[in-house]
Structure 1
Amino acid sequence: MKLRLILVFAFSITIIKSAISQESDSTDVSGEKEVYDFILINAKYQNAFHFLGRDFGENIPLFSTDMMYYFHSGLYFNASTIKFMQAELPWQYALSLGYNKDLSEKTDLNLSYSQFFVNEKSDITGIQNLGFLQGTLGWEWGLLYSNIQAQFLFNEQTDYFLSSSHSRYFESDKKLFKKVTLSFEPKFTLMAGTSRFYQNGYDLIDQENQDLEKFQLLSWEAVLPVAFGIGYWDIEFHTRYINPLNIPSFDESRKRFIFTLQTSYAIPIKKTKKL
């Protein structure tokens, strides 16, 4: 059985952060502080699906939309819809709850849990009861921004992953056409983990199942996202090179480039907080 039957497990929700910093807090003489919540809307097209660096020998484009409410406290709720552009793959939906906090001027923490749903009947295994838990600790240490992320995928089997990303943000000194902010953030990510997710798509012998339970390197990738910001609008184009590692013999995944186009809009909601 082709592993494309479990492709929809793997789509994790993109947390929109860039717009959150566009409004600063202010304090007036009455002892009250103006703070902002945000509604964040995002739409994305990707020319091919991938999970842990694997495309499973398939070339399936996808389109997704997200709507998030981000509280000033760092708590956020997100709702997503995901459409894989292949007839036998159903729509998938997800709800997420998360918390984002700056621990200091140089460190931050993000925790989230996502639950995925499929309303229609499908022969695709592994997508009816999928949970995704992740925690990320980030550190701005001067030359780079680095983070380490622990992830748990709850399904018929449980997988756990550990990844580390390193990036540097650049922004143009002058606005294009006096309105457009140009920025880019090259990033390198290395991921390791278990591979029990294969067990939902193949009939495997005992030795193959044992190999999938080993914690090992799964992929590395390099990404160059270029973003254009106009007010509360952001338009981004991502070029991503993915190299899967330790691929089982029955998986036809290969090294490849993947391209993504997405647009997002942030709606600020001003609130007053007593000091």
Structure 2
Amino acid sequence: MKFKLITVIFLSLALIESAVAQDNDSSDIAEKEDVYDFVLISTKYQNSFHFLGRDFGENIPLLTADLMYYFNSGIYFNASSIKFLQADLPWQYALSLGYNKDLSETTDINVSYTQFLVNEVSDVTGIQNLGFLQATFGWEWGFLYSNIQGQFLFNEETDYFISSSHSRYFEFDQKLFNKITLSFEPKFTLMAGTSQFYQTGYDLSGQENLELEKLQLLSWEAVLPITFGIGYWDIGFHTRYINPLNLPSFDSSTKRFIFSVQTSYAIPIKKSKRL
């Protein structure tokens, strides 16, 4: 039974996009947001897709490109294009609107909605009108930065998820060659949610006692992103170990490492300086 990949594949970009936005919020943008807007341009190669820790027994690399406008007020718009390196999968696109705000010196929130679009004919049902809503609360406490995120996936059926991440940002005091800033941020994430998304991709006739609407643990993952910063350029290398949990018998996903490389450039747009 061949799994119809495309719905869950391009939802993975919502998670990727969220992580990129969170990382940017804690770097140069946060330092300059009083006087600057930013245009952020990024591209990414990943050696295999994943969604909720699942690769569905497939190994499909992907390329993404993002263009974001980040206002100093914390509002941002993002446009994404996604190309899966498999011939029978169409180009996919995503439009996002979000808001990021520091509530205090140690807490912040991020809320966003993403609408996915496909402009080619596809025999996969349920992919032309997908929405993804997420809200995140972050807290800097002691040694760790922790956040909790609620997510809703609007498709033929509505799924909901909750995840919690814990990380710590490190940056070397001395610049490499007096120009390059080296930083890394190990992170651990645990996710739970419902599993009605399987109904879009699988023929579930004859399957019993699936309880797809039941909230249960879906995955945990550990990530080590290493970033080289040169001025407004960032080049990042991510190593991610993913462990799917509570897999149904028909899902052939396995534990695995996933690797990616990302390049981004921030263009500052000077605004009127606040007094």
Bucket of the pairwise TM-score, normalised by the shorter protein: over 0.9
Map residues 203-222 of structure 1 onto 2, 5 A cutoff: 203-205=203-205, 208=208, 210-222=210-222
Work out whether residues 101 and 108 of structure 1, in 8 Å CA contact, stay in contact via their aligned partners in 2. Answer: yes
Shift of 1:3: 3.9
Shift of 1:273: 4.5
Work out whether residues 185 and 226 of structure 1, in 8 Å CA contact, stay in contact via their aligned partners in 2. Answer: yes
1-side partners of 2:21 and 2:43: how far apart?
11
Task: Give the structure 1 partner of residue 163 of structure 2.
Answer: 163
Work out whether residues 16 and 40 of structure 1, in 8 Å CA contact, stay in contact via their aligned partners in 2. Answer: no
Task: Give the structure 2 partner of residue 227 of structure 1.
Answer: 227
Task: Give the structure 1 partner of residue 10 of structure 2.
Answer: 8
Work out whether residues 116 and 129 of structure 2, in 8 Å CA contact, stay in contact via their aligned partners in 1. Answer: yes
Work out whether residues 94 and 116 of structure 2, in 8 Å CA contact, stay in contact via their aligned partners in 1. Answer: yes
Shift of 1:9: 3.7
| Aligned counterpart in structure 1 of residue 28 of structure 2, from 9, 22, 32 | 22
Q: Which structure's CA Rg is the greater one?
A: 1
Work out whether residues 9 and 127 of structure 1, in 8 Å CA contact, stay in contact via their aligned partners in 2. Answer: no
2-side partners of 1:216 and 1:141: how far apart?
27
Matched, 1:53 2:53: yes
Work out whether residues 46 and 260 of structure 1, in 8 Å CA contact, stay in contact via their aligned partners in 2. Answer: yes
Work out whether residues 196 and 209 of structure 1, in 8 Å CA contact, stay in contact via their aligned partners in 2. Answer: no
SS of the aligned residue for 1:251 comes to coil
SS of the aligned residue for 2:199 comes to helix
2-side partners of 1:10 and 1:72: how far apart?
27
Work out whether residues 38 and 267 of structure 2, in 8 Å CA contact, stay in contact via their aligned partners in 1. Answer: yes
2-side partners of 1:25 and 1:119: how far apart?
38
- Quick one: structure 1 residues 17 and 85, their matched pair in 2 at CA, closer, same or farther if it must change by over 3 Å? same
Question: What is the TM-score of this pair, normalised by structure 1?
Answer: 0.93
Query: What's the RMSD between the two structures over aligned residues?
Result: 1.7
1-side partners of 2:52 and 2:10: how far apart?
13
- 2:86 maps to a residue whose letter is Q
Percent identity, aligned pairs only, is 73
- 1:183 maps to a residue whose letter is S
1-side partners of 2:32 and 2:258: how far apart?
38
Work out whether residues 242 and 255 of structure 2, in 8 Å CA contact, stay in contact via their aligned partners in 1. Answer: yes
CA shift digits 1:153-181 (9 cap, x unpaired)? 00111100000000000000100000000
Task: Give the structure 2 partner of residue 254 of structure 1.
Answer: 254
- 1:255 maps to a residue whose letter is K
Shift of 1:126: 2.2
Equivalenced residues, count: 268
Shift of 1:113: 0.1
Deviates more, 1:263-272 or 1:6-15: 6-15
- Quick one: structure 1 residues 188 and 25, their matched pair in 2 at CA, closer, same or farther if it must change by over 3 Å? closer
2-side partners of 1:271 and 1:71: how far apart?
10
2-side partners of 1:87 and 1:188: how far apart?
34
Work out whether residues 37 and 70 of structure 2, in 8 Å CA contact, stay in contact via their aligned partners in 1. Answer: yes
